[in-house]
Amino acid sequence: MKTTINEVNGTPVAVLEGELDTAAAAGTEQALQPLFEAGDKNIVIDCAALEYISSSGLRILLSLLKRSRAAGGSVTLRAVNDDILNVFKMTGFINLFNFE
């Protein structure tokens, strides 16, 4: 699992590549730590290269969303493939996040 954070026009963009499973969750959460501290900024998570997400990965994204919303920001998931989108639908998370 590879996690990269860039800034595009003042918006933090995290690029997730690989499989966000239980084994990768701790490392991914640590890599995303700057986003947890981003305050009220809107955050984009680029999922174009994300191949799989487990419940541990969903927990990380939900924690990020809660922190962002509490500070007046939002989290948008970009380029989510159909398999991962189905996971969001089955868990009801489809209603929580913004999707592009």
Mean pLDDT on 22-38: 92
Amino acid 39: pLDDT:
66
Question: What is the C-alpha separation between 91 and 39, in angstroms, rounded?
Answer: 27
Asked whether residue 94 carries a pLDDT value surpassing 70, the answer given is: yes
Q: Which residues of 72-86 are buried (b: 16+ CB within 10 A; e: fewer)?
A: ebebebeebeeebee
User: Is pLDDT larger for residue 72 or for residue 18?
Assistant: 18
Residue 37 has pLDDT above 90, yes or no: no
